[in-house]
A and B are shown apart, each in its own frame.
Chain A
Amino acid sequence: MSTPLLELKGVTKAFPGVVANDTIDLSIAEGEIHALLGENGAGKSTLVKIIYGYYSADAGDMSWLGEAVKVSSPAHARQIGIGMVFQHFSLFDALSVRENIELAIAAGKTGDELSEDIIEISTTYGLGLDPERDVFSLSVGERQRVEIVRCLLQSPKLLIMDEPTSVLTPQEADNLFEVLRKLADQGCAVLYISHKLEEIRRLCHHATILRHGKVVAQCDPTKEDTRSLAEMMIGKTLKPPAYELKQTGAEKLVVRNLSRNAETERSISLSDISFDVCEGEIFGIAGVAGNGQTELMEMLSGEILADDDSVISIDGVACGRRGVRARRQLGAAIVPEERLGHGAVGSMSLVENAFLGGHRRFNLTRGLWMNYANARKFAQQTCDDYDVRHAGIQVDAGSLSGGNLQKFLIGREILQEPLVMLASQPTWGVDAGSQLAIHKALLDLAARGTAVLVISQDLDELLELCNRVAVMFAGKLSEPHQVADLSAEKIGLLMGGAELESAKGVANAH
């Protein structure tokens, strides 16, 4: 085998509390389309950021064309021939395609000369870009092509594409694949990051699969099927639920045909989402982040209102057009995904943060006045009952560790004895001890009869907690499945968006 274009050996990168990349080996040959496959948090982004010079690795070696190299910055990466197209574009809307490219490649060609180059590259690869068009008039796919041309003008030998199809329509994605194949034919290697299995099977020559920061498999994706890829991505060992949850009663949270149009390019449309959560049940929504979970949560909590009352009911009361206060009054408690800045205010004390979430259901107001004495008691009780380690309830919420703050938020909401608990990513980024405590708190809450909804990317968590799990993909929710019936492949396929339709046939008999 000839010298690989890029070779990584034992690359390791740790962040406080998590090893994002653990002794990773990776080798990319010239002209190869190489997939980097993994769930969210598997370490894909960290790895490419190391390659592109954003981060420096804690340990490990990188060699480029057979020679050891230390990429010190993205500019350095571009200099040696590595280009990267990000998921989110960095273009100026008001400038033309040529001007945008001119700005990005310092000391390069300008004006008509550059326009000629753009046209040449654009025709070679069938990109169809007019250098004089203004960027605001371009579609998302065309904008991505501007970014690609911008990279290609610097004649890279390796092009890194970070989740490139997440913003594209299927037709645009097909066009992109054509371009990437042409590039590969000309000898340019492509490192293609994705969690979409079907795409990788169609496009890539080789796949490296990451899980929990480690390389777990190498394969030729064209020889695998989506099932086997899903298994490799998620792991085969799915634990059976640890608790036998009591069978469920009346529906406390009912969602019917909930839709929402995307407001910006980056947000996801929700289409026709329906599900019920019953008394005493924990209902899980799985899915890779960015498939509409945030948008769904905003609508469930009442931060964004629906057009019609009937789409959401809490405890039998239609409340789609009623805000957060009304929903809390009806019995909802809410733990949002972002701890700081959403669930809590970092620069306010724990007392004030207890007030923030608890004042509706916990009577922490007297008329227009804040009842500080009761808020203090409530904050103290939350900390005591949920083992929040703190230096006094007057300290800023921002000074707590992630796990402690999350326990505080979960405790604050649970102490309100809600009828419906909405929790998004309840253990995202918290330590193992806090995770255990939070899981126990949620299970106990359900055992007392609360309808609990957990939105999470962590499959293990969902399988451990939930009675039923549905999967979100591209703004759609699959049929719910009894956890007992779920297998790794089934959930992996759903998360990768494959066979969403056929999977609907396997609805549970609940």
Chain B
Amino acid sequence: MRIKLVPRQTHSKVMTWMTPVMALVLSLLSGTVMFSLLGYPPLESLYAFFISPISDLYGLSELFIKATPLAIIAVGLAMGFRANVWNIGAEGQFTIGALTGSALVIYFPESDNVLMLPAMLILGVAGGMAWASIPAFLKTRFNTNEILTSLLLVYVAILILSTLVHGPWKDPAGYNFPESVIFQDVATLPIIVPGTRLHFGAIFALLVVATGWVLFSRTLAGFQVRVSGLAPHAARYTGVRSDRMVWYVLLGAGGLAGLAGIIEVAGPIGQVQPLISPGYGFAAIIVAFLGRLHPLGILFASLVLALSYLGGEFVQIKLGLPLGIAGVFQGMLLFFLLSCDVLINYRVEFRRPGTKSSASSA
């Protein structure tokens, strides 16, 4: 028996938007099976995973806190993915953005200048861009695969972070813990809902989503990005230089990842630690695809992924399940999403071993 994927003639726009929902449902079903196999009551576990974490104001605010970096990074990544530029290294750009932004605090810990925070945000964006410019340069100059270079630079970035917090950036009054000083007030994002940790970064996320939306659908630049991805020849025909496109989208994605990084340390964390991201840069890839590379979709998808982080922590506390559960759910989500996409674009044909396959061995 031979199995063959045959492209479908027509693509349904409705189905394109239904796949994320289908993927979500399939992940839930598989989740049920998984919880049962692990010996936990499946419905209760699912409830603990998906409902309990957001059943109060505090839980909801935590959801938005987690969704903030995801949405910001994913909008940038989506821009690149649309143009067929595969930046997998947002995690690294996030980390470097967090570091360049924090440098101001580390070197001016006493400052109470109100321009501190804006300057940090700008430096964060610049740091993310700088980190993303390395794969951009390698790609345009030597045609190096940006998937590999951006991914490998993640580990470099994390080692730089580690070196700094274990060395020069360590808080002298910090009992030798590998952590920086705690950021002073002017270097911290203000809280927008009293009694929670929900900070100003969430507003940035909404702004980024809205800007991304307008950029994609209404501007010449967004149009060129879309054409580049759909038909590179047509992009050349309309006067887009593919090298420049690589630079634009990598710098854009890097800048946004950097912004998310500095928002994270200047917001919920409040200092530089050895671990500043539970894999936001990678989860944002899932967010981008789950949101169909559309900023509005990304907004919803970031909430779903944020919930998977919260749920993971929750079932660990409530039911003693391993924290890896969150990663398993994220993985299933992407897996089902991609497989549903394949089935929407192709139909599966089963072929009996006939003259063709038997003759080919002759």
B353 to chain A, nearest CB (A): 13
Q: How far is the CA of A302 from the CA of B231 in the complex (A)?
A: 17
B230 contacts chain A at the CB level, 8 A cutoff: yes
Is A342 a contact partner of B233 (Cβ separation < 8 A)?
A: yes
Q: B239 and A325: CB pair below 8 A?
A: yes
Chain A contact residues (Cβ within 8 angstroms of B): what range? 35 or more
CA distance A344 to B236 in the complex (A): 11
Q: Is A370 part of the binding interface, using a Cβ–Cβ cutoff of 8 Å?
A: yes
Contact B234 A345 (CB under 8 A): yes
**Which residues of A, 344-391, contact B by the 8 Å Cβ criterion?**
344-348, 352, 355-357, 359-360, 365, 368-370, 372
**CB of B4 closer than 8 Å to a CB of A:** no
Residues of A with C-beta under 8 A to B241: 323
Bound complex: CA of A346 vs CA of B229, how far in Å? Answer: 12
B234 & A342 in contact (Cβ 8 Å cutoff)? yes
Q: Supply 9 A–B pairs (Cβ within 8 Å), ascending by A.
A: A106-B362, A303-B236, A323-B239, A336-B237, A347-B11, A348-B226, A348-B230, A368-B219, A368-B220
A352 in contact with B355 given A342-B231, A344-B234, A370-B218 (CB within 8 Å) = no
CB <8 Å contact, A75 and B359: yes
A423-434 contact mask (Cβ, 8 Å, vs B): 1 or 0 = 000000000000
Highest count of chain A CB atoms <10 Å: which of B220, B237, B360, B362: B237
Q: Which of B218, B234, B355, B362 contacts A356 (CB 8 A)?
A: B234
Query: Once the chains bind, are A76 and B359 in contact (CB under 8 Å)?
Result: yes
Q: Quick check: is A334 within 8 A (CB to CB) of the other chain?
A: yes
Cβ contact within 8 Å between B219 and A79: no
Map CB proximity to B onto A277-308 as digits: 1 under 8 Å, 0 otherwise: 00000000000000000000000011100000
A328 within 8 A of B: yes
**Interface residue ranges of B211-259 to A (CB < 8 Å):** 218-221, 223, 226-227, 230-231, 233-234, 236-239, 241
A304 to chain B: closest residue by CB: B236
Which 5 residue pairs of A and B lie closest in terms of their CB atoms, listed nearest first? A325-B239, A75-B359, A324-B239, A342-B233, A75-B360
Docked complex Cα distance between A75 and B354 (Å):
12
Q: Which chain B positions have C-beta within 8 A of A107?
A: 361-362
B355–A76 touching, CB < 8 Å: yes
Interface size on B, residues (CB 8 A): 23
Whether A338 lies near B233 (C-beta < 8 A) is yes
Is A72 part of the binding interface, using a Cβ–Cβ cutoff of 8 Å?
yes
CB-CB contacts of A320-349 with B at 8 A, as 1s and 0s? 000111001000001010101111111110
A76 to B11, CA, bound (A): 36
The answer to whether A435 has its CB under 8 Å from any CB of chain B is: no
Pick the contact of A303 from B230, B237, B356, B359 — CB < 8 Å? B237
Question: Whose C-beta in chain B lies nearest to the C-beta of A335?
Answer: B237
Residues of the A chain whose Cβ atoms lie less than 8 Å from the Cβ of B234: 341-345, 356
A-contact 0/1 string along B33-44, CB 8 Å cutoff = 000000000000
Once the chains bind, are A72 and B356 in contact (CB under 8 Å)? yes
Asked whether, in the complex, the Cβ of B220 is within 8 Å of the Cβ of A365, the reply is: yes
Contacts of B355 in A (CB 8 A): 72-73, 76
> Would B359 and A72 count as touching, CB distance under 8 A?
yes
Question: Which residues from A are CB-within-8-Å of B236?
Answer: 303, 324
Cβ–Cβ < 8 Å partners of A357 in chain B? 237-238
Chain A residue contacts of B360, Cβ below 8 A? 73, 75, 106
Task: Return B347 CB to nearest CB of chain A, in Å.
Answer: 18
Q: Are the C-beta atoms of A345 and B231 separated by less than 8 Å?
A: yes
Known contacts: A368-B220, A369-B219. The answer to whether A343 contacts B237 by CB under 8 A is yes
Flag if A328 contacts B230 (CB, 8 Å). Answer: no
Do A356 and B227 have beta carbons less than 8 Å apart? yes
Q: Is the CB of B237 within 8 A of A324?
A: yes
Q: Cβ of B359 and Cβ of A345 under 8 Å apart?
A: no
Partner of A75, one of B221, B223, B226, B356: B356
In the complex, what residues of A have CB within 8 A of residue B362's CB? 75, 78-79, 106-107
In contact, A345 and B230 (Cβ under 8 angstroms): yes
Residues of A within 8 A of B239 (CB): 302, 323-325, 328, 360
Interface residues of A in 471-509 (CB under 8 A from B): none
> Are the C-beta atoms of B233 and A356 separated by less than 8 Å?
no
Residues on the A chain within 8 Å of B221, using CB: 368
Task: Return the chain A residue nearest B238 by Cβ.
Answer: A356
Q: 1/0 per residue A67-87: CB within 8 Å of B?
A: 000001101101100000000
The listed residue with most A CB atoms (<10 A of its CB), out of B226, B234, B362, is B234
Interface residues in B274-315 by Cβ distance below 8 A to A read: none
Docked pose: A368 CA to B218 CA in angstroms: 9
In the complex, the answer to whether B359 meets A369 with C-beta atoms within 8 Å is no
- Report the bound CA distance from A302 to B360 in whole Å: 46
* Alpha-carbon distance A265/B241, docked complex (angstroms): 24
Known: A338-B233, A343-B237, A352-B223. A369 touches B356 (CB 8 A): no
- CB-nearest residue of chain B to A154: B362
Give bound CA distance, A83 to B227, whole Å: 42
Chain B 342-362 per-residue mask, 1 if CB under 8 angstroms from chain A, else 0: 000000000000011001111
Q: Which residue of A lies closest to B221 (CB)?
A: A368
- Asked if A106 contacts B231 (CB within 8 A), the reply is no
Question: Which chain B positions have C-beta within 8 A of A328?
Answer: 239
Instruction: Report the minimum CB–CB distance from A302 to chain B (whole Å).
Output: 8
- Given that A73-B359, A356-B227 are known contacts, is A341 also in contact with B233, CB under 8 Å in the complex? yes
Residue pair B220, A369 in contact (C-beta under 8 Å): yes
A189 to B11, CA, bound (A): 47
Complex: A365 Cα to B223 Cα, angstroms:
11
Q: Across the interface, which residues of B come within 8 angstroms of A369, CB to CB?
A: 218-220
Smallest CB gap from A366: residue in B: B220
Q: Looking at the assembled complex, report how far the CB atom of A89 sits from the nearest CB atom of chain B, in whole angstroms.
A: 20
